Amino acid sequence: MEQKEKKRAIRAWVMYDWANSAFVTTITAAVLPVYYASVAAADLPPNLRTAYWGYTTTIALLIVALMGPVMGAMADFAGSKKKFLTTFALIGIAGAALLFFVQEGDWLLASLFYIIGNVGFAGANVFYDSLLPHITNEEERDQISSRGYAFGYLGGGLLLAVNLAMIMTAKDGAATALMSRLSFLMVAGWWLIFTIPLWRWVKEPARRILKGEEHFNPVQASFSRLAHTFKDIRRYKELFKFIIAFWLYNNGIGTIIVMATIYGTELNFSQTTTIGTLLMVQFVAIPFSLLFGWLGKKLGTKRSILLSLGIYTIIAIGGYFMTKEIHFWILGFGVAMVQGGSQALSRSLFSRMVPKSKSAEFYSFFSVSEKIAGTVGPLLFGVVSTLMGGSRLSIVSLVIFFITGGLLLSKVNEDEGTVVAKEEEEKLVRASALEGAEA
């Protein structure tokens, strides 16, 4: 029965990737950037549309970066990872639904509602990722994490295909705008419905109260735990070395995801090419995500990530020389090869170096790394685009993130980080048991 419940929990956890990936595909990467540039910000110059979209993304991710660590520590203390996930998921769903009301010239409103949706999406992911160590063992983590990304691409891709069919078959501009707005509403419904299995089948991990926290409220406990973590930062040196490496290379990955479609629009590529390429990426990425889960076992997790960063470097250089629509399709295929695998294995590698009882706290640091990366990359992209009057230098500048991140990642000793995490978890369990006995 226990094994059956575990498998059901894993399936439910994987389904959340299916649920929330619709926000990434339809809203973040495909339909909203085009709708933002062609409708909401139609009265702005083309390069400012790109720049303002970059600034909007920066603000959204910066909010989560500032909130993440405190919320993560609170969730660990209160034993409420699922409750926090639910709260942020509902915020994200509301933001997606509100985008339905954005019409021509409403670029500021579009930015506001997207910020709300993205804060919910990114905040929920902190707690979603933190559940991974609780539902899997170390040996299966690479493959389960990769399976989540594969299902995310499939679910997000299927809804995007439906949304694109609606948009592409519209008879005029007004109908196209309406279909785009309806697609935002559909994302909200999709996200809500397919989160239900996680709410039902994934259990809330056990709460552990440490010595001295007995009379703390959640806010006091969160700051106390964060202070303790920073005090012991040398003990987790391999983990934090990885976080910095991830921050660096994920700058490039996150910026390509967020800015690719609107960059293609700036180059006057057709909507069929920009959104069609993204749709292609969703389905091509499925087998490659699963392949990277297998590569993690054969080559090692760290080596597989480094391989993906090498391919990303080639993609960024190719983006500078892109002039034809076929180039966009080719580079999109390259992204599909590595996007899911690099992120899934990064999540898995991180989970090995994290004490399970502090998973939300540490995943909040992982998320902060990811979100600050998400602010710096689009911000740099927007600033360079504004200064240069175009975005070619913006795309090639991402190479520095892949190279420096890969070099630091190569220095991470994952075995040492795993040992430290296991020792810390054993100590936390003993301390919690002792407090329970004394009570």
**Spatial distance between the Cα atoms of 389 and 385, rounded to a whole number of angstroms:** 5
* Per-residue pLDDT in tens (0 to 9) along the chain, 439 residues: 477 888 899 999 999 999 999 998 899 877 898 899 889 988 888 778 877 887 887 787 778 777 766 776 677 767 788 998 999 999 999 999 999 999 998 999 999 999 999 999 988 988 898 888 888 877 788 888 889 888 998 999 999 999 989 988 888 888 999 999 999 999 999 999 999 999 999 988 876 666 666 566 666 766 676 676 666 666 788 988 998 898 889 888 877 876 777 778 778 888 778 878 878 888 888 899 889 888 888 888 999 999 999 999 999 898 888 889 999 899 889 988 998 889 889 988 988 888 877 776 677 666 666 666 556 777 777 777 777 776 777 777 788 889 999 999 999 998 898 888 888 777 766 665 555 545 4
Q: Burial of 12 by CB count in 10 Å (0-12 exposed, 13-18 middle, 19+ buried)? A: buried
Return the amino acid letter for 297: K
The predicted pLDDT at position 402 comes to: 92
Distance from the first to the final alpha carbon of the chain: 32
In 105-172, where does DSSP find H-type helix? 107-130, 132-135, 141-168
User: If one looks up domain 2-198+228-438 in CATH, what number appears?
Assistant: 1.20.1250.20
Q: What share of the chain is helix, strand, coil (3-state, %, to 5)?
A: 85, 0, 15
The predicted pLDDT at position 410 comes to: 95
The predicted pLDDT at position 230 comes to: 67
Packing angle, helices 46-78 and 218-231, rounded to 10: 100
- Per domain, the residue ranges of the chain are 2-198+228-438
Residues 376 and 384 sit within 8 Å (Cβ to Cβ) = no
**Spatial distance between the Cα atoms of 424 and 419, rounded to a whole number of angstroms:** 9
Could you write out the DSSP letters of every residue in 159-206?
HHHHHHHHHHT-SSHHHHHHHHHHHHHHHHHHHHHTTHHHHHHSPPPP
The pTM assigned to this predicted structure is: 0.75
Coil vs helix vs strand at 311: helix
Which residue's structure tokens are 């960063």? Answer: 309
CA angle 367, 374, 376 (to 5 degrees): 125
**Spatial distance between the Cα atoms of 65 and 59, rounded to a whole number of angstroms:** 10
Least Cα distance to 24 among 153, 147, 166, 130 occurs for 153
The predicted pLDDT at position 439 comes to: 47
The predicted pLDDT at position 171 comes to: 86
Residues 14 and 144 sit within 8 Å (Cβ to Cβ) = yes
In 169-300, where does DSSP find H-type helix? 173-193, 196-201, 218-231, 237-266, 271-298
